[in-house]
Amino acid sequence: MKILLVHRQKSNVDLIKSVLSSSNPVVLYTESGLDGLLTSRIEHFDLIICGTDLSVVTGFELARSIQANSINRDTPVILLCNIINDAAMYLGNALGVAAVISPFEIGFRLNEIVMQHVRAVPDKAWRQLAPLSESV
Protein backbone atom coordinates (compact mmCIF):
# COMPACT_ATOMS: atom_id res chain seq x y z
CA MET A 1 0.00 0.00 0.00
CA LYS A 2 1.37 3.43 -0.98
CA ILE A 3 0.45 6.32 1.27
CA LEU A 4 1.02 10.04 0.83
CA LEU A 5 1.26 11.58 4.29
CA VAL A 6 1.16 15.38 4.47
CA HIS A 7 1.53 16.73 7.98
CA ARG A 8 3.61 19.24 9.92
CA GLN A 9 4.03 17.31 13.17
CA LYS A 10 6.57 14.49 13.07
CA SER A 11 5.03 12.83 16.15
CA ASN A 12 1.73 12.31 14.28
CA VAL A 13 3.62 10.97 11.27
CA ASP A 14 5.44 8.44 13.45
CA LEU A 15 2.16 7.41 15.11
CA ILE A 16 0.45 6.87 11.75
CA LYS A 17 3.38 4.78 10.49
CA SER A 18 3.27 2.72 13.67
CA VAL A 19 -0.49 2.12 13.51
CA LEU A 20 -0.36 1.07 9.85
CA SER A 21 2.88 -0.93 10.13
CA SER A 22 1.05 -4.29 9.96
CA SER A 23 0.05 -3.57 6.34
CA ASN A 24 3.69 -2.83 5.39
CA PRO A 25 2.96 0.52 3.73
CA VAL A 26 5.30 2.57 1.57
CA VAL A 27 4.93 6.05 3.04
CA LEU A 28 5.94 9.23 1.24
CA TYR A 29 5.98 12.13 3.69
CA THR A 30 5.85 15.87 3.02
CA GLU A 31 5.46 18.72 5.49
CA SER A 32 3.76 21.30 3.28
CA GLY A 33 0.45 21.24 1.48
CA LEU A 34 2.06 22.56 -1.70
CA ASP A 35 4.57 19.70 -1.79
CA GLY A 36 1.74 17.25 -1.11
CA LEU A 37 -0.32 18.71 -3.93
CA LEU A 38 2.55 18.55 -6.42
CA THR A 39 3.38 14.98 -5.37
CA SER A 40 -0.25 13.89 -5.72
CA ARG A 41 -0.29 15.13 -9.31
CA ILE A 42 2.62 12.99 -10.48
CA GLU A 43 2.36 9.73 -8.52
CA HIS A 44 -0.55 7.41 -7.69
CA PHE A 45 -1.29 6.53 -4.06
CA ASP A 46 -3.68 4.09 -2.38
CA LEU A 47 -4.35 6.52 0.48
CA ILE A 48 -3.70 10.18 1.24
CA ILE A 49 -3.62 11.42 4.84
CA CYS A 50 -3.19 15.12 5.47
CA GLY A 51 -3.44 17.63 8.27
CA THR A 52 -5.79 20.55 7.86
CA ASP A 53 -3.40 23.21 9.20
CA LEU A 54 -0.74 22.99 6.49
CA SER A 55 1.28 25.92 5.19
CA VAL A 56 0.50 27.57 1.82
CA VAL A 57 -2.14 24.97 0.81
CA THR A 58 -4.44 23.79 3.64
CA GLY A 59 -5.61 20.20 3.97
CA PHE A 60 -9.10 21.18 2.77
CA GLU A 61 -7.64 22.87 -0.33
CA LEU A 62 -5.40 19.88 -0.93
CA ALA A 63 -8.36 17.45 -0.78
CA ARG A 64 -10.38 19.65 -3.15
CA SER A 65 -7.52 19.96 -5.64
CA ILE A 66 -6.74 16.24 -5.57
CA GLN A 67 -10.35 15.35 -6.32
CA ALA A 68 -10.69 18.03 -9.01
CA ASN A 69 -7.65 17.38 -11.18
CA SER A 70 -5.26 14.67 -10.13
CA ILE A 71 -4.42 11.09 -10.96
CA ASN A 72 -5.54 10.42 -7.37
CA ARG A 73 -9.08 11.74 -7.77
CA ASP A 74 -10.53 8.39 -6.63
CA THR A 75 -7.99 7.90 -3.84
CA PRO A 76 -9.44 8.04 -0.31
CA VAL A 77 -8.37 11.11 1.66
CA ILE A 78 -8.32 11.24 5.45
CA LEU A 79 -8.11 14.67 7.07
CA LEU A 80 -6.43 15.09 10.47
CA CYS A 81 -8.04 18.01 12.23
CA ASN A 82 -6.88 19.21 15.66
CA ILE A 83 -10.34 20.52 16.54
CA ILE A 84 -13.28 18.66 15.06
CA ASN A 85 -16.26 20.97 14.97
CA ASP A 86 -19.34 21.34 12.77
CA ALA A 87 -17.46 23.42 10.20
CA ALA A 88 -14.68 20.83 9.80
CA MET A 89 -17.20 18.00 9.48
CA TYR A 90 -19.28 19.98 6.97
CA LEU A 91 -16.23 20.75 4.82
CA GLY A 92 -15.05 17.13 5.02
CA ASN A 93 -18.46 15.85 3.94
CA ALA A 94 -18.73 18.43 1.18
CA LEU A 95 -15.33 17.38 -0.15
CA GLY A 96 -16.24 13.70 0.04
CA VAL A 97 -13.24 12.68 2.13
CA ALA A 98 -13.14 9.20 3.65
CA ALA A 99 -12.92 10.56 7.20
CA VAL A 100 -12.16 13.58 9.37
CA ILE A 101 -10.40 12.50 12.55
CA SER A 102 -8.41 14.09 15.32
CA PRO A 103 -4.83 13.06 16.11
CA PHE A 104 -6.20 11.48 19.32
CA GLU A 105 -8.28 9.04 17.21
CA ILE A 106 -5.38 7.75 15.10
CA GLY A 107 -4.63 4.85 17.40
CA PHE A 108 -8.12 3.38 17.47
CA ARG A 109 -9.88 4.52 14.26
CA LEU A 110 -7.25 4.68 11.53
CA ASN A 111 -6.99 0.94 10.82
CA GLU A 112 -10.78 0.63 10.63
CA ILE A 113 -11.05 3.54 8.18
CA VAL A 114 -8.23 2.17 6.02
CA MET A 115 -9.82 -1.29 5.90
CA GLN A 116 -13.14 0.27 4.84
CA HIS A 117 -11.85 2.59 2.13
CA VAL A 118 -8.53 1.36 0.76
CA ARG A 119 -8.17 -1.26 -1.93
CA ALA A 120 -4.44 -1.45 -2.60
CA VAL A 121 -3.65 -2.01 -6.26
CA PRO A 122 -0.24 -3.37 -7.31
CA ASP A 123 1.92 -0.65 -8.81
CA LYS A 124 2.56 -1.52 -12.46
CA ALA A 125 5.81 0.43 -12.40
CA TRP A 126 7.28 -2.13 -9.99
CA ARG A 127 8.81 -5.00 -11.92
CA GLN A 128 7.58 -8.46 -11.00
CA LEU A 129 10.46 -10.65 -9.85
CA ALA A 130 10.71 -14.22 -11.10
CA PRO A 131 10.89 -16.96 -8.47
CA LEU A 132 14.46 -17.77 -7.45
CA SER A 133 14.34 -21.25 -8.99
CA GLU A 134 13.63 -19.76 -12.44
CA SER A 135 16.21 -17.00 -12.26
CA VAL A 136 19.30 -19.22 -11.88
- 17's CB contacts (< 8 A; 6+ apart) are 5, 25, 27
pLDDT score at 55 = 82
Q: Is 115 exposed, middle or buried (0-12, 13-18, 19+ CB in 10 A)?
A: exposed
Predicted TM-score (pTM) of this structure: 0.83
Q: How does pLDDT run across 52-98, given as a tens digit for each residue?
A: 998 889 999 999 999 887 799 899 999 999 888 999 999 999 999 99
Helices 59-68, 33-42: crossing angle, 10 deg rounding? 20
Superfamily the domain 2-120 falls into:
Response regulator (3.40.50.2300)
